[in-house]
Amino acid sequence: MKHFLLKTAFAVTLLASSAVAMAQFNFQPRPYEAPKDGLKDAYKDYFMIGVAVNTRNVTDPDQIALIKREFNSITAENAMKPQPTEPEKGQYNWEDADKIANFCRENGIKLRGHCLMWHSQIGEWMYKDKKGNLLPKEQFYANMKSHITAIVTRYKDIVYCWDVVNEAMADEQRWPGASPYRQSPMFQIAGDEFIAKAFEYAHEADPDALLFYNDYNDADPGKCERIYQMVKKMKEAGVPIHGIGMQGHYNVYGPSEEDIDAAITKYATIVDNIHFTELDIRVNEDMGGALRFNQGAAQVSDWEKTLQEDQYMRLFKVLRKHKDVVKCVTFWNVGDADSWLGAANYPLLFDSKYQHKRSYTLVKTFDPAQDNATPKEDFVPSYFNQPGQEYPMVNSQGYARFRIDAPKAKSVIVSLGLGGQGGTVLRKGADGYWWGTTAGPMDEGFHYYRLTVDGGTFNDPGTGFYYGSCRWESGIEIPAHDQDFYADKNIPHGNLEEVLFWSESTKQLRKAIVYTPAGYDASNKKQKYPVLYLQHGWGENETSWPVQGRAGIIMDNMINEGRIQPFIVVMTYGMTNDFKFGTLGALSGDTFAKDFETVLVDELIPYIDSHYKTIADKDHRAMAGLSMGGMETHTITLRRPEVFSYYGLLSGGVYTPEEIANPAQVKGIFIGCGSKEGPDRIMQAADALQKAGFNAKGYVSEGTAHEFLTWRRCLYEMAPMLFK
Taking each continuous run of H as one helix and of E as one strand, the counts in the chain are 21, 28
172 is catalytic: no
Catalytic-labelled residue, pool 70, 77, 86, 167:
167
718 neighbors 672 (Cβ within 8 angstroms): yes
| Dihedral angle of Cα 625, 627, 631, 634, to the nearest 10 degrees | 40
- Nearest alpha-carbon partner for 41 in 333, 366, 465, 317: 366
Catalytic-labelled residue, pool 77, 86, 278, 477:
278
- Nearest alpha-carbon partner for 352 in 299, 408, 394, 423: 299
CA distance 102 to 58: 10
629 neighbors 645 (Cβ within 8 angstroms): no
CA distance 537 to 672: 15
**For the chain, how long is the longest CA-to-CA vector?**
112
- Nearest alpha-carbon partner for 80 in 139, 140, 166: 166
Rg (CA), the chain: 33
- Nearest alpha-carbon partner for 152 in 109, 110, 202, 103: 202
CA distance 607 to 514: 12
What is the spatial order of strands in the sheet that 495-503 belongs to? 495-503, 508-516, 568-572, 531-535, 621-626, 646-650, 668-674, 696-701
Catalytic-labelled residue, pool 184, 411, 627, 645:
627
167 is catalytic: yes
φ, ψ at 273 (rounded to 5°): -130, 125
Cα 715 to chain center, whole Å? 31
Cα 295 to chain center, whole Å? 25
540 is catalytic: no
Does residue 115 have a cis bond before it (omega within 30 degrees)? yes
What is the spatial order of strands in the sheet that 380-381 belongs to? 380-381, 393-394, 400-404, 434-437, 424-428, 412-414, 451-453, 456-458
Which residues are catalytic, by number?
167, 278, 627
